[in-house]
A = this chain, B = another copy of it.
Amino acid sequence: MLELAFQADRRGREPVYRQLQHHLLDLVQSRRLAPGERLPASRELAHSLGLSRNTVNQAYQALVDEGVLRSHVGQGTFVVGAATDPAEASPGVRSFAWQGLTARRVRAIAQPRGVAPSGPLEIDFRAGRVDLPSLPMASLKRAYARALSQVGDLAEAIDPRGWGPLREVIARSLLTRGITCGPDEVVVVNGAQHALDLLARTLVDPGDTVALEQPGYFGAAAAFSASEAHLVGIGVDAEGLRVDELARVLRARRVKLLYTTPAVQSPTGTALSESRRRALLDLADAYQLPIVEDDYDGELRYGGPPVPALKNLDRAGQVVYVGTFSKALFAGLRMGYVAAPPPLLRRLVRSRWAADFSSDVVTQAALADLLASGSLERHVRRVRRLYARRRDALLAALRELMPVGTAWVRPAGGSTVWLRLPDDADAEAVHAAAVAAGIGYGRGESFALADGPAAPEAERHLLISFARVSAEKMEAGVAALADCVRAAQRAPRRRAS
């Protein structure tokens, strides 16, 4: 008789019969119970495992219902199993040649070169993170519970534009960014990355040129390259995007669209100046250039009146606005939106329908609730104050602790500082020391196209987020990071091959 060692966890959430059922499934899956094999009679098994016979019968019956076991009266219970011939189904004979079948679009994807460490860290300076303890969890739980209570109305409300009530509150909230638009100019999507990808597939044919900031956000490079765009980098300086450089590019070639982050340039943190904004729109008007404005951190502005979105100045309807809830809530929620002029929006919605029909209605309804009740707005206001203190603590600690030659610009908004290493500190060595010390940050090379002109400079930078490190712990965190930099200065060429 087969060995059926099984220990029920009686304090566990799963009923014991389910635990046994899963245990048996595992045995079948791993082929310790082979197809055709006979299981012990339920009375025997119950006795040997110290379970009730009913428990064993329930587990057997569930597996029979699922087609994993079959039962013959008077004969017993047998494993149906998976493939007809287990030998044939073993991974070893999996011979199909997928390699030659990959679409060009997959190979075209520009992937970031430097990846931040995953998992928990001693000191978490990684970008794209938020302060988790601040999250309005009670409101969020209530909002989800209310959304689920409406599921009868929602369950099949599959609208590629998004759920109407959510589009309404988003449209209203956009007024705080200086954007006047109605719910019919808003499409709810699964995060800003989804927005960029959908815009790419709606506007970009293979070989089209897309202009984007360099250094710039790696997600945009990925989305547009996945549509086989030719990517052209436009430099940034203390006033944001170099509009004069863009003008030179536009004179030389046709550009399908410009991707830009005017509120808080990703990654440098600078804001596009007022004069540049006007120059950019004049230029875009002259060349009939669509502008995709990614306002990912536009709500986080410190020590000054909020600067309206670029789209606020858009007279011709050529600015497409991309918003996200990743910063106001958290990135794992995967919710964002596009505010677009109606002619583009219709095409975008058509693409979106073919791509995934619509966004999840439960999450949409929960978000609509959170927006309508004002919880989200209050949360953003609280977080803005919190991050302002953390930014100040980070800047103070950097001034005090970083070695001479380290450089950075005080960001007027967002949640990150773009930090330049001293010339004699090797970035790879800093990274190795930081990993060893349990420090995580964004690696500069992720924010530049490989072999692009901005790459060498970007590689000398770290993207430091202050969102997750409390003001009290900031000094210790920066001190530890400064130690990594100093260690890399002492051994300047300790580069991993």
Contacts and interface: CB of A to CB of B under 8 A. Distances in A.
A392 interface: no
A357 interface: yes
B14 A372 contact: yes
Interface stretch (A175-183, A419-427, A442-450, A451-459): A175-183
A166 to B, nearest CB: 13
B333 A360 contact: yes
B148 A141 contact: yes
- Interface centre among A103, A194, A343, by most chain B C-beta atoms within 10 angstroms, is A103
Nearest to A140: B148
Given A151-B135, A226-B354, A356-B193, A361 B374 contact: no
A122 interface: no
Interface residues of A, number: 120
A271 interface: no
Interface string A356-382: 111111110000000011100100010
Nearest to A144: B144
A109 interface: yes
Interface in A250-283: 256
B373 A360 contact: no
A11 interface: no
B93 A341 contact: no
Given A109-B350, A148-B144, A180-B29, A317 B226 contact: no
Given A305-B70, A334-B359, A132 B106 contact: no
Contacts of A205: 103-105
B318 A96 contact: yes
Interface stretch (A60-68, A238-246, A396-404, A405-413): A60-68
A343 B98 CA distance: 6
Contact of A13 (B344, B354, B373): B373
A157 B137 CA distance: 17
B317 A94 contact: yes
A130 interface: yes
Contacts of A374: 14-15, 18, 21, 62
23 contacts: A25-B172, A66-B377, A67-B177, A83-B312, A94-B316, A95-B316, A96-B318, A98-B344, A102-B202, A102-B203, A102-B347, A103-B203, A109-B353, A128-B156, A132-B151, A132-B155, A137-B148, A151-B332, A158-B332, A190-B360, A191-B357, A332-B358, A334-B360
Given A156-B331, A360-B360, 17 more contacts: A26-B172, A29-B172, A68-B175, A70-B305, A83-B315, A94-B316, A96-B290, A96-B318, A98-B290, A101-B203, A103-B204, A105-B201, A141-B145, A151-B332, A194-B357, A197-B354, A197-B355
